Amino acid sequence: MNLLDEASIVPGFEMPRLGAAQRCRLQQLSQRVAETVVWDGVGALPRPDALVVVLEPANAAHVEALVRSLDRGSIVALPFGENPVFDPIKSKLVAHGLIGAEGAEAPHQLWWGSVEPLRPRTGIYRRDGALFVSCYARGSIPEPTLARFCAHLELLGLDSVVEEIATDAGSMMRGTDKIDFITRQLNVSMRPVFWIDPAAIVRQLPLLPQSLGCDVAFCHRGRGEIETRALFFRPTATTNALLEVWHRLSMAYPDLPEHFLFDQAWILTCAQRSIETAWLPGSYAECDPVIRGATIELETMARARNSRQPFDLDPAIDRRFGRAQTPEPHLIMPGTDWRHRPIMVVIRDVQAASARDVGALVECIASAFEADAGGFCRLEIMLCTSDDEVASVVRLDGEGWVVLAGADEWFAPDAFAALGRAAEAIGPGSPEHDGSMVADVKNSVVSFAPPEIQAPARREVTHPGALLRRPMGS
């Protein structure tokens, strides 16, 4: 049964606003199982072979009961995958995929996973369905190691391109060299490209990524750290956007670790494009030669760290749950008129609110900004679970604006137009104002949901928050 049809017959249920790519993927997932259900958050499933849509978090005991009732063919989908309240259920599952947010039409990030890692679906896959590529600087890799890499690709009958990148004498290959090489191979071949480190050993046919239909695929380590020595890309517009952001960050921060820069490029792209990511099983980036069954065996390598860290982030950022972490927004929308600096809406205390209420507010904010951006050049939406996270956002350097909102508040269609007028009144060079004046500004532009569309759990509030101006950058 079609997921949207299934959802529409649930009393009081309203499907979250999903984009075309997200709806299409959900429908494809529903066709692989016997039944599609919206989990009630209480217990086990009536049958294990199902697509389970989870819209609200549950306590640990109920999550455990759900997971125990799943079989290897079951899939759990989280339409509000950006919300940290779903981290506990993600921790019990193996991540399969994520489709990013894109504008007001797709303001959420769709996440799905299962009790077992991804595996190729039954079918016939051509060995030349993807191009296997690698590059290196002269002298950066021993000749026997390079010869071994090429020999294994040839033994498996894989179509490959392995090139030496011209660099200055004795210098290492720059991060942008690798990105340029991958981009060139995508543009020339017009087929999926699987970049593998030349020091690796390809033990088995790595056919899984090309069977998934994703834009990008990679492995991640225990804390979610991305492994950049085995990366799969499909030639799509969203892939090109990811590579462009990665290239710009690599140019701006050449001394930062490659995996961190790719992580930041990926999370920024997921906030702006409906890019589909697949998480490959650990056998595609196995670093322990003792473990048998590896598809791609990588060298054990301690990553170099650097003290220069943008936005006070740890280069080993925790990405276990496949979502943005404070102070990263999960949705970024460009404005149409660049009269004002960016504006960030921070939704507070999301763990104490209904996930559907938070999702509805995200949709409301995105729609209001799309209707009238108020002259702000960019909108960023962030979900915060604590006052400390809110404080870390407010302390960010930059000449932007921050709106603090509760999950039980509502943005009128002209909210950002009024916020733009408030920003003009305050002015970029005006002194700081006291909280009461700023709160009055906020009260004049944010309204609450009309009674007929208010959710039962939506509480009445008397103070909607404050419009803040970020401190000037140094």
Question: Two tokens at 435?
Answer: 């909280």
Give the mean pLDDT of 289-299: 84
Percent above pLDDT 70 for the chain: 81
Do 131 and 233 have their domain in common?
yes
End-to-end CA distance of the chain: 56
- Residue at 46 is within a domain: yes
Do 58 and 176 have their domain in common?
no
Do 192 and 270 have their domain in common?
yes
Do 109 and 137 have their domain in common?
no
Question: Two tokens at 138?
Answer: 């002269």
Give the mean pLDDT of 269-277: 97
pLDDT tens by residue, 415-451 = 999 888 887 877 654 434 333 223 233 443 443 333 3
- Residue at 151 is within a domain: yes
Give the mean pLDDT of 152-159: 93
Do 206 and 148 have their domain in common?
yes
**What pLDDT does 89 receive?**
94
- Residue at 320 is within a domain: no
For the cut 60, the answer to whether the pLDDT of residue 33 exceeds it is yes
Domain end residue (candidates: 59, 83, 114): 114
**What pLDDT does 131 receive?**
95
- Residue at 449 is within a domain: yes
For the cut 60, the answer to whether the pLDDT of residue 78 exceeds it is yes
10: confidence class by pLDDT, cuts 50, 70, 90: very low
**What pLDDT does 436 receive?**
27
What is the chain's alpha carbon radius of gyration, rounded to the nearest angstrom? 24
Per-residue CA distances from 212 to 170, 217, 241, 277 (Å) = 40, 9, 20, 10
Do 62 and 208 have their domain in common?
no
pLDDT tens by residue, 179-199 = 999 999 999 999 999 999 999
Do 349 and 440 have their domain in common?
yes
Do 259 and 152 have their domain in common?
yes
**What pLDDT does 47 receive?**
77
**What pLDDT does 459 receive?**
30
Domain end residue (candidates: 51, 86, 114): 114
Domain end residue (candidates: 281, 312, 343): 312
Do 52 and 99 have their domain in common?
yes
pLDDT tens by residue, 229-264 = 999 999 999 999 999 999 999 999 998 889 999 999
Prior bond of 327 cis (ω within 30°): yes
**What pLDDT does 194 receive?**
97
**What pLDDT does 215 receive?**
98
More confident residue, 2 or 145: 145
**Contact partners, residue 248, CB within 8 Å, separation at least 6:** none
pTM: 0.86
Q: Rounded CA gap, 111 and 29, in Å?
A: 12
Do 299 and 415 have their domain in common?
no
**What pLDDT does 309 receive?**
40
Count of domains forming the chain: 3
Q: Which residue's entry shows tokens 């990148």?
A: 165
For the cut 90, the answer to whether the pLDDT of residue 172 exceeds it is no
**What pLDDT does 318 receive?**
62
More confident residue, 126 or 453: 126
For the cut 60, the answer to whether the pLDDT of residue 472 exceeds it is no
**What pLDDT does 465 receive?**
42
For the cut 80, the answer to whether the pLDDT of residue 453 exceeds it is no
- Residue at 423 is within a domain: yes
- Residue at 319 is within a domain: no
174: confidence class by pLDDT, cuts 50, 70, 90: confident
List the CATH number of the domain containing 191.
Answer: 3.90.550.10
Do 110 and 136 have their domain in common?
no
pLDDT tens by residue, 389-402 = 888 887 775 668 88
For the cut 60, the answer to whether the pLDDT of residue 279 exceeds it is yes
- Residue at 121 is within a domain: no
Do 131 and 229 have their domain in common?
yes
- Residue at 321 is within a domain: no
Q: What average pLDDT does the chain have?
A: 81
For the cut 60, the answer to whether the pLDDT of residue 284 exceeds it is yes
**What pLDDT does 14 receive?**
67
Give the mean pLDDT of 324-344: 88
**What pLDDT does 6 receive?**
46
**What pLDDT does 222 receive?**
74
pLDDT tens by residue, 98-128 = 999 999 999 999 999 999 999 877 655 676 7
For the cut 70, the answer to whether the pLDDT of residue 301 exceeds it is no
> Which residue range(s) make up the domain with 363?
331-469
